[in-house]
Structure 1
Amino acid sequence: MNNPARKEPLVQKKPLVHVRDVSKHFGEGETRVDALRDVSLEVHPGQVVALLGPSGSGKTTLLNVVGCIMEPNNGWISLDDEVVYDGRWLRSDLRKLRLEKIGFIFQAHNLLPFLNSTDNVAVVLNLAGYNTAEAKKRAVELLDYLEVGHRKEAMPANLSGGEAQRVAIARALANRPRIILADEPTAALDSQRAGIVMDLLRKVAEEQEAAILAVTHDEKIFDRFDHIFHLRDGRLETENA
């Protein structure tokens, strides 16, 4: 779905997410389930793209494969102009690959309840090797960028649903990944807060030339996507633009 008020995605550049002929099955013989069947898709810098489909269609499996959490059975995957899978993983340290290239956003914010907003973001940077002062500075910058800097000292229990999700987005952006994978990021939010979160993701996509791929059933945000891919029984059936 196109929104004429948006900037055109930077489609002349190479895709940040490029998946080709990826398949994934579970089990063998009579118990085999084909979760993904020869799936190919591209997401370019500046694009916000949705994955739709009924329960069991393969949406979360595809997100986990793109996120290098789950290994496919065959296919080819390039992330940020690096081929990371070609019949096998081409990186030995997938944790480092995820830390370098990918930010994850989930339906539940999964903030650590014993850390305030700043420290929930900074902890990711500490794991990446930042010292405490650098990590906190970057965390506050991100919270300000996402318009929740005034809640930088708040504990998760004292944040609204929308505020907590924005802190979670800040955490996902901490290491400056250009690929954001979101699993039902607005399902727990009302229409107004869902719109705010999607506007923030749009801002990230356009200003940081990021690619955002989101699994969603949330009809109230369908008009916020550049493209909608439909999965059914593991196959990518159609694409709406």
Structure 2
Amino acid sequence: METDAPLVRVEGLGKTFGTGEAAVPALADVTLQVAAGEVVGLRGPSGSGKSTLLNIIACILEPSAGRLRLGGETVWDGAYRVADLRRLRRERIGFIFQFHNLLPFLTAVDNVALAMTLLGTELAAARARARALLDYLQVGRRAEAMPARLSGGEAQRVAIARALANRPRVILADEPTAALDSERARVVMDLLRQVAQDQQAAILVVTHDEKIFDRFDRMIALRDGRIEAAG
């Protein structure tokens, strides 16, 4: 494992759905990397392959070609090189979605704690870290609130806390601000930038939201499954 390698590196990545005449290429020869402390935006029209790429990096979708490395370790190279993908996802990757997907029957603090208890953390320790994360994301006063009582911005902060629960170094976000107004969207992105710096995490964000483009270190544009521009 390369200790100074980018936290996310994909090389010549390709994905094709179907076979023969029914084959549909979704990604072709995609190469990119995201370093520790970096927040990178991924944009492009619908059908350009953004979500496919995010799901491959998340080890949810298997690529058809290329190589995927996380934290300097080869995860996929013709086949998965990691024995327990479920554990890898829980320990090393944090997920943030457009809709927060909080469990409606758990409080904010217990939604965050659940991610840790699934990996064997004692409930008391999990709840203590969950409260600390909610305080860090400036929503600690809502720790005992049910999701239905949270504003959109508050719910998204709780979702970010849940993504950070197991201290992942790779954080993947799919349209995390699409449901928020301009002010709340910028607050969420500023929090993600703070997370990237404080925890030296690599953050990759799929977005169409032009009002947050200035919050990224770099933008990568996809079109028809290929990188069109990066800068």
Give the TM-score normalised by structure 1. Answer: 0.94
The alignment status of 1:196 with 2:180, answered yes or no, reads no
Q: Which residue of 2 aligns with 1:70?
A: 61
Shift of residue 92, structure 1, vs aligned partner: 2.1
User: In the alignment, is the contact (CA less than 8 A) between 1:51 and 1:228 conserved in 2?
Assistant: yes
Cα-to-partner distance string for 1:19-59 (whole Å, 9 max, x where unaligned): 00110000122221100001000000110001111100000
Shift of residue 93, structure 1, vs aligned partner: 1.2
Q: 2: CA distance between counterparts of 1:35 and 1:155?
A: 39
**Partner SS, residue 162 of structure 2:** helix
Q: How does 1:1-241 map to 2 (within 5 A)?
A: 13-240=4-231
Q: 1: CA distance between counterparts of 2:28 and 2:205?
A: 19
User: In the alignment, is the contact (CA less than 8 A) between 1:80 and 1:101 conserved in 2?
Assistant: no
Q: 2: CA distance between counterparts of 1:105 and 1:127?
A: 18
**Partner SS, residue 169 of structure 1:** helix
- Counterpart residue type for residue 48 of structure 1: V
Shift of residue 115, structure 1, vs aligned partner: 0.4
- Counterpart residue type for residue 77 of structure 1: L
Shift of residue 60, structure 1, vs aligned partner: 0.1
- Counterpart residue type for residue 131 of structure 2: V
Superposition CA RMSD, Å:
1.0
**Partner SS, residue 53 of structure 2:** helix
Shift of residue 210, structure 1, vs aligned partner: 0.4
**Partner SS, residue 34 of structure 1:** strand
Q: 1: CA distance between counterparts of 2:128 and 2:87?
A: 22
- Counterpart residue type for residue 15 of structure 1: P
Cα-to-partner distance string for 1:79-133 (whole Å, 9 max, x where unaligned): 0121111111001211011112100000000000000000000011110101110
- Counterpart residue type for residue 211 of structure 2: K
- Counterpart residue type for residue 176 of structure 1: R
- Counterpart residue type for residue 129 of structure 2: R
Q: 2: CA distance between counterparts of 1:100 and 1:152?
A: 23
Q: 1: CA distance between counterparts of 2:69 and 2:82?
A: 12
Flag as ranges the 4+ runs of structure 1 deviating above 2 A. none
Q: 5+ residue gaps in structure 1? A: 1-12
Shift of residue 177, structure 1, vs aligned partner: 0.1
Q: 2: CA distance between counterparts of 1:30 and 1:84?
A: 30
- How many correspondences in the alignment? 229
**Partner SS, residue 178 of structure 2:** coil
Shift of residue 201, structure 1, vs aligned partner: 0.1
